[in-house]
Amino acid sequence: MGDPGLVCFFRSSAKPIQALPLVRARSDLDDIEVAIACASHRADPAQIAAARSLLAKAPATEVDLECGEQEGRPPGRIHHNCSGKHAGFLALCHARGWETTGYRLEAHPLQQELLAEVAAAAELRPEEIPTAVDGCGVRTFALSLEQMARSFARLPTLDGANRILAAMRAHPELVGGEGALDTTLMRALPGWVAKVGAEGLVCAVSPDGLGIALKSEDGNPRPLQPALGRFLSSLGVVVGEDLATVPVESSRSEVVDEIVAD
């Protein structure tokens, strides 16, 4: 629907794919540590505890995180919404014997491996994927929506992905948090796995391997949830009110309207 050839950056929706080398290399990780490696968290206490657990297991410290600090969050790099992903990167670097300093940079073997992983998932060659610097300092990948949907459809077949999908299904609250679209979708549709990305992107895969990618073209995430509900309904997926509408509240927490798909 829409423009499946629209090219945009994968952003945080790529995290489940970026975690594949981690789970292959580190069999010692718990579900919460795998889930937080795939998360864009809200710095809730349980999410920070999971990120600290993964960081300690790397082993590394908060100083080693190269995501920087995030405006509007408590001080400390651990509170960055990508700190779990970065802790996972450090854990993989230790497993491979790679230098951890500069792991975020394009020339580092970690980033080269992640590019190859995303390319393989989308059935492309690495040189076919333009890259740029994401908000947390690592590489992000430019793909069409169709290529993103394909990579999520293929996710259950990829080596190590069952470990990732199981962890995300077991802990949707760690992946996004209360009110986050990916958490809402995974709670509303058991067996699905979803991951949002910045600039109004969400990618998901159903239990039977239906991959989807939905993008708000102007980058505003405001209409994404009801649009996702309508899109899924058009594919024959039964969705509830949690995905069909978004309430609009006043500063008094009164529901004064709603956002729905036209």
* 188 touches 178 (CB < 8 A): no
CA distance 108 to 123: 23
Task: For residue 154, give both structure tokens.
Answer: 């293929």
Contacts of 38 (CB under 8 A, 6+ apart): 15, 16, 19, 84, 85, 164, 167, 168, 175, 195
**Beta-strand pair 255-260/139-144:** unpaired
In a structure prediction context, what are the per-residue pLDDT tens digits for the chain, which is 262 residues long? 889 999 999 999 999 999 999 999 999 999 999 999 999 999 999 999 999 999 999 999 999 999 999 999 999 999 999 999 999 999 999 999 999 999 999 999 999 999 999 999 999 999 999 999 999 999 999 999 999 999 999 999 999 999 999 999 999 999 999 999 999 999 999 999 999 999 999 999 999 999 999 999 999 999 999 999 999 999 999 988 778 888 899 999 999 999 998 8
* 135 touches 9 (CB < 8 A): no
What is the greatest pairwise CA distance in the chain?
56
pLDDT of residue 167: 98
| Straight-line distance from the first to the last Cα atom of the chain, in angstroms, rounded to the nearest whole number | 15
Q: What is the helix (H) or strand (E) element at residue 246, kind and residue range?
A: strand 245-249
Helix, strand or coil, per DSSP, at residue 195: strand
Q: Phi/psi of residue 257, each to 5°? A: -170, -170
Q: What is the pTM of this model?
A: 0.96
pLDDT of residue 246: 86
pLDDT of residue 168: 98
